[in-house]
Amino acid sequence: MRDFSQFEERISLKFNNKDLLRQALTHRSYINENPSFGLGHNERLEFLGDAVLELAVTERLFDMFPDKPEGELTSFRAALVNANMLSDIAVELEMNEVLLLSRGEAKDMGRARQYILANAFEALVGAIYLDLGYEAAKKFIERAVLSHLDEVLAKKLYKDPKSLFQEEAQERVGVTPGYEVIREWGPDHDKHFVVGVFLEKELVAEGEGPSKQLAQEEAARNGLRVRGWV
């Protein structure tokens, strides 16, 4: 059985119930391949952790910005707890090294892995809450998530990528971006899209997603990075 003690050191926490930590790091696909594993997958813990994460971040933002309206605080929170941010944080914590995945999922390092990492991070928060209590979970969230608040504010990550890319493009080059579907595949219930963001006829970047809207957002986010506008 895998030893998670080094991971506990990395996150500066020691679990009383090691099974909670193990379950938080177990993806559904691993259970499918290892039905005798003895524990469930991490989706229930993810559900709980999502709520704990949102409460802790909301509390902190509410205290930090007494003069900000609800709408701005909501945008700040969304930038801190979205899948992109949480998957990046999970990578920082080297969660890729400890996730229990099926052999197939372990090979896939694309967009799907980002969602798996983000969900596993939420499950980890849920496990910390159950095992060590809300204060321990809150302190962990302060270290791991709220430490990125300065970056969110400096880079205006609280603005949705499409709005930010449009503002920058109009200000810097006097062009309003356009979006086009480059590829799409899959049945109606499981579509996948690749969308390009263009400045006039120039393809700046592409984005992938399970909907055109999410693919456009990813394309805009990548476009900001490619152009160095963040």
Q: Are 185 and 198 in contact (CB under 8 A)?
A: no
d(CA 182, CA 193): 8
Question: Mind listing the pLDDT tens digit for each residue in 170-229?
Answer: 999 999 999 999 999 988 878 899 999 999 999 999 999 888 998 999 999 899 999 998
Chain mean pLDDT for the chain: 93
Q: Catalytic: which of 50, 208, 217, 218? A: 50
Annotation says 122 is catalytic = yes
Instruction: Sketch the domain layout of the chain as residue ranges.
Output: 5-154, 161-227
pTM of the model: 0.78
Q: Are 20 and 127 in contact (CB under 8 A)?
A: yes
Annotation says 63 is catalytic = no
Q: Is the pLDDT of residue 109 over 90?
A: no
Q: Are 75 and 163 in contact (CB under 8 A)?
A: no
d(CA 24, CA 116): 11
Q: Are 207 and 220 in contact (CB under 8 A)?
A: yes
Provide the residue count of the chain. 230
Nearest partner of 21 among 113, 96, 128, 157, judged by Cα: 128
Per-residue model confidence (pLDDT) at position 170: 94
Mean per-residue pLDDT for 80-100? 94
- Domain 5-154 sits in CATH 1.10.1520.10: yes
Provide CATH code, domain 161-227.
3.30.160.20
Q: Catalytic: which of 46, 122, 168, 217? A: 122
